[in-house]
Amino acid sequence: MMRLLFLITLLWSSLSWSQSSMRRCTLLPITDSVGGAIGFKVFEDLEVYLKQSNWCTYVSNSGLINVFSRYRENLAQYLKTKEVLVTVADRLKVGSLVRVAIISEIKGVEIQIDVYGENGEDLYFSERTTIAKDDIEIISNTVRGWLEMYSKTIPYDAQVNGVLGEQLTLDVGKGYPIQIGQKFTIKRPQGKKKHPLLKKIVDWETETMAEGTVMSISDNQAMGLVKFYKVDKKLLAGDWVRLEDQKQDVINDPTLGEQDPEKLGTLGILSLGFFGSSSSVDTVTPSGSNRMTGSLYGVDLRAEGWITRQYFAALEVERTIGTLKKRSGNPAETSVSADYGTYRVSGGYKYLPIGYFYGPQVDLYAGYTKHTFDLDFSQADGFGQTSINGIFFGTSANIPLNREYRFFGRVDFIPFPTFNDDDGIYGTAKSVSSLDFELGVKYQYTNRITIDGSIDFISRKAKFSNSFKEIAYMDTRLKLGASFNF
């Protein structure tokens, strides 16, 4: 009886098939800059890999080779047109069209991969890299690694192929790890989000429809039984199926976005920066106003740990040293040594506007900070050991400009800072302010490392009611460093 029902649902599935599965794929002809000498060999190797893979039911495009051969002169451009991609997808009934291009350059070979959906517009996956030489094995292994990464971004394990009452046929890739008795959740796609700059699909909106259990398995299909409905709607061919206890769920890891967990960190970011600062100290004393200026140099170390996808904690320490010299006024000391330090601990919330960890980000955070200032002691000039500390608040934005560069900005302030005078020169302050404003750019040097450059404007002031009326520390910094994703 079970076998008969299985055959009936297979028949029903042939009548109700809708969207081609992303787990049905084909490899388009690989183009290169040397008349196909490299591309053909790489194609052969990748085709063997796809035929043996368990995430993709590979469909050969050999029946279209004659068509492609007519456009050999402009094949690379021909394969970029929407009409061609739609035609191939329709002929082969595939949902993932893999396009690879190999471009010879002066310093090596650029490898490109793009995976498109059956409508010829949806870009599911895209990567670029340059290697030193046109080694076929290296090229093939690079593309294989990318395809494994892509397989982890597919938002479902199978698709509903047919529906007959409470019984379903599931379209599953050949050899895909699925077991009888395994539970599954059925979801219906509602929409998709594209990266605003890269135009790549980065997230899917879905509605949970039902839950069920796998009852039997054949070569490329399985039969399931619905146990529980989440909504009062009929299940349809094309609905997505997510199997429980599958490693493919790594795409939902809060720290990975769409990337391979072996190539990106999962805990946080460690940043180290070196900077040069154009600094000044202004004091208003009984003898008048004085200004000392000079170039200071320092190092900044920051560690950020990801608690969840949207919450983080951070610790930052910095040290600045140098010499300041008389700029204006009549100070008793015409040159003083400066030794500044900052300690900061914070926690915050990371807002992801498009729900994608490596897309635009806006951080809101708060914590405790202490800024120390140590100048060669001179009571007449108002120089000594002071500090400003308190609870601070801040916000930062991090926005991708393209595949390699990101813009970031940050502003921090202490709403109710406390001024401390270790040498007893100034006494109690009547007003204190502390403000940081930073703008910069990050360059994606490797998957784990970014090179960071920024300009930072810092203002910290305290005013008093006695004869020593004011002290102000001002800095404009140029910072260069690196961040490591661990």
Q: What pLDDT, in 10s, does the model give residues 458-471? A: 999 999 999 999 99
**Beta-strand runs (E) in 45-141:** 57-58, 96-105, 108-116, 123-131
83: how many CB neighbours lie within 10 A of its CB?
9
Give the pLDDT score at 326: 94
Residue 11 has a pLDDT of: 40
Task: Give the residue extent of every domain in the chain.
Answer: 24-153, 158-250, 268-485
Identify the pLDDT of residue 54.
83
Q: Are the C-beta atoms of residues 310 and 347 closer than 8 Å to each other?
A: no
The predicted structure's pLDDT at residue 15: 39
Distances (CA, A) of 20 to 158, 160, 171, 299: 11, 11, 10, 54
CA R_g for the chain: 31
pLDDT at 307 (0 to 100): 83
State the pLDDT at residue 124.
Answer: 92
Q: Report helix, strand or coil for 144.
A: helix
Inform me whether the pLDDT recorded for 316 exceeds 70. yes
Highest mean pLDDT among 29-38, 265-274, 369-378: 369-378
Q: What is the pLDDT of residue 456?
A: 96
Tell me the pLDDT band of 27, cut-offs 50, 70 and 90: very high
Task: Say yes or no to pLDDT of 252 above 70.
Answer: no
Protein fold of 24-153: Rossmann fold (3.40.50)
Question: What average pLDDT does the segment 168-195 reach?
Answer: 84
Residue 257 pLDDT? 37
Q: pLDDT value at position 67?
A: 66
- Flag whether pLDDT at 195 surpasses 70: yes
> Are 432 and 419 in contact, with CB atoms under 8 Å apart?
yes
State mean pLDDT over 437-441: 96
State yes or no: pLDDT of 303 exceeds 80: yes
Q: What is the DSSP string of 466-486?
A: SSS-EEEEEEEEEEEEEEEE-
Rounded to two decimals, the pTM is: 0.54
Question: What is the model's pLDDT at position 192?
Answer: 84
Give the tens place of pLDDT for each residue, 282-299: 999 998 999 999 999 999
Q: Which residues contact 148 (CB under 8 A, 6 or more apart)?
A: 260
Q: What's the rounded mean pLDDT across residues 63-89?
A: 79
> Residue range 84-113: average pLDDT?
89
67 or 280: whose pLDDT is higher? 280
pLDDT in the model for residue 38: 87
The predicted model gives 178-197 an average pLDDT of 85
Q: Which is the CATH superfamily of the domain at 158-250?
A: FlgT, C-terminal domain (2.40.10.410)
The pLDDT of residue 473 is above 80: yes
| Joined tokens for residue 110 | 């650029």
On average, the pLDDT of the chain sits at 85
Helix or strand (DSSP H, E) at 19: none
Largest separation between any pair of C-alpha atoms in the chain: 104
Mean pLDDT calculated for residue range 350-374: 83
pLDDT of residue 397: 93
Percent of the chain scoring above 70 in pLDDT: 86
Q: Quick check: 250 pLDDT over 60? A: no
Task: State the pLDDT confidence band at 247, using cuts at 50, 70 and 90.
Answer: very low
Q: How far is CA 120 from CA 17, 97, 114, 338, 421, in A?
A: 19, 9, 11, 62, 67
For residue 253, pLDDT over 50 is answered with: no
Which numeric CATH code is attached to 268-485?
Answer: 2.40.128.100
